Amino acid sequence: MDFELTEEHRIFQDAIRDFTQKEIAPLVDEAEETNVFPKQLFKKMGGLGFLCPRYPVELGGGGGDKIMDCIMAEELNKVNAGIAASLMVQGGLSTQPIYRFGSEEQKQRFLIPAIKGEKIAAFALTEPDSGSDAASIKTRATRDGDGYIINGTKIFITNGPICDYATVAAYTDPTKRGEGINLFIVEKGATGFSVSRKLDKVGNRSIETGELVFEDCRVPAKNMIGEKEGGGFDMIADTLISGRITYGSRCTGTAQAAYDLTVQYAKERIQFGRPIVKFQATRFKLAEIAMNIDIMRTYTYRVAWMYDQGKNVRKESSMVKLFTAETLQKILSDSMQIHGGYGYMMEYPIQRYWRDGRLFTITEGTSEIQCLIIANETLR
């Protein structure tokens, strides 16, 4: 493995970094204040091939690899974790099942428009009574003629309030725990599909997160992903492995932004007659942060490379998610401590990264779930 980015990677990194600073950074304050995602970013990024950099060029994507996907995630999260999350769901959780397992018609109707930013997608798995235990979902899809009737409720759904369609997990055979799940593409406007409420969150406020309700929602059978009933749980697991690698870069980007802000503050803040960056206690904290960010980035890229080689990285992807998310908590805590009282004030952006980053040990598999996966894969 070559630990240096390729020229193609570096060109992409420069391009996406320039885009985030010019096109996304000016939108952050309003998006955070209003809790409204700037939807124009979908088409802007889609038109440039930035929205889904890992999908083939012939589908409208960037034709890149998993490392390129991680580069994008890091640069987006340096600017704003909430906006990044909405865009990342578009290029990952909500569309990968269609890309990997969907029919040609589904790719034409749903995947390609999503890659181009013409349609906004969501991934609906979590339910009010089913989080870490995904196999315990209660949403049902019952066959009815040439379609399915879906009943159930989904919660904490990124892009839920603004999506044009959602990739929804439901049981077609409740007697088969996990194995009886299928994924369905449910379009906005479908009878019985509604957004019951938009959720108010502590952090990641630029994401529009919602609760979705399906009441006798009729979906055509052709909107089921896969050729037969069952197998949806494996599709979900496949998607989550990729997402957990991306999460490593999400954590790395947030950590890098917090570090940059903290170094700048430490150079400007004068106490006892000199900048606090001159004090050993501060310097040691910053040194440790810098070291951990480098480890986070390097390990994430390593596992992304393994994923591109077609290796089984179920264990390693969970290690990425666990290590980077937990390490980020210490980085953000130390960054807040160095900022002192000013860090707790809303006018200083470090508090936003602190609030946003707290979510990362919870979503897309809690740290405890990652430990369980690692133990199961290691201690056979």
Contact predicate 307/244, CB 8 Å: no
pLDDT band at 373 (very low <50, low <70, confident <90, very high): very high
Domain ranges of the chain: 7-115, 121-229, 233-378
Higher pLDDT, 2 or 182: 182
Q: Return the active site residues.
A: 364
Query: Which pLDDT does position 1 carry in this prediction?
Result: 62
Q: In whole angstroms, how far apart are CA 326 and each of 178, 240, 275, 322, 329?
A: 28, 18, 30, 6, 5
User: Which two three-digit tokens encode residue 265?
Assistant: 């503050």
pLDDT band at 272 (very low <50, low <70, confident <90, very high): very high
Rg of the chain in Å (alpha carbons): 21
Residue 271 dihedral angles phi and psi, to the nearest 5°:
-140, 140
Query: Which pLDDT does position 131 carry in this prediction?
Result: 83
pLDDT band at 145 (very low <50, low <70, confident <90, very high): very high
pLDDT of residue 380 exceeding 80: no
Taking the mean position of all CA atoms in its chain, how far away is CA 209?
Answer: 13
What mean pLDDT do residues 212-234 have? Answer: 95
β-strands 181-187, 193-198: how paired? unpaired
Query: Positive or negative CA dihedral for 300, 133, 123, 308?
Result: positive
| 325-365 confidence digits (pLDDT tens) | 999 999 999 999 999 999 999 999 999 999 999 999 999 89
End-to-end CA distance of the chain: 28
64 contact partners, CB below 8 Å, separation of at least 6? 8, 12, 53, 54
For the residues of 247-285, what is the DSSP string, one character each? HHHHHHHHHHHHHHHHHHHHHH-EETTEEGGGSHHHHHH
Mean of all residue pLDDT scores within the chain: 96
For the residues of 201-212, what is the DSSP string, one character each? -SS-TTS-EEEE
β-strands 224-225, 181-187: how paired? antiparallel
pLDDT of residue 223 exceeding 90: yes
pLDDT band at 4 (very low <50, low <70, confident <90, very high): confident
Q: For the domain with range 233-378, which CATH number is right: 3.40.190.10, 3.40.1830.10, 3.80.30.20, 1.20.140.10? A: 1.20.140.10
97 contact partners, CB below 8 Å, separation of at least 6? 167, 183, 225, 235, 236, 238, 239
| 17-49 confidence digits (pLDDT tens) | 999 999 999 999 999 999 999 999 999 999 998
Please name the amino acid found at residue 125.
Answer: L
How far is 92 from 86, CA to CA, in rounded Å?
10
How far is 350 from 269, CA to CA, in rounded Å?
15
Contact predicate 54/295, CB 8 Å: no
Contact predicate 261/349, CB 8 Å: yes
108 contact partners, CB below 8 Å, separation of at least 6? none
Which helix (H) or strand (E) segment holds residue 298: the answer is helix 280-308
Contact predicate 304/242, CB 8 Å: no
Largest CA distance in the chain: 79
Other beta carbons less than 10 A from residue 202's beta carbon:
9
Assigned CATH for 7-115: 1.10.540.10
User: Which two three-digit tokens encode residue 113?
Assistant: 């428009």
**Helix crossing, 280-308 with 232-268: angle to 10°?**
150
How far is 363 from 325, CA to CA, in rounded Å?
10
CATH class of 121-229: mainly beta
Residue 177 dihedral angles phi and psi, to the nearest 5°:
-60, 125
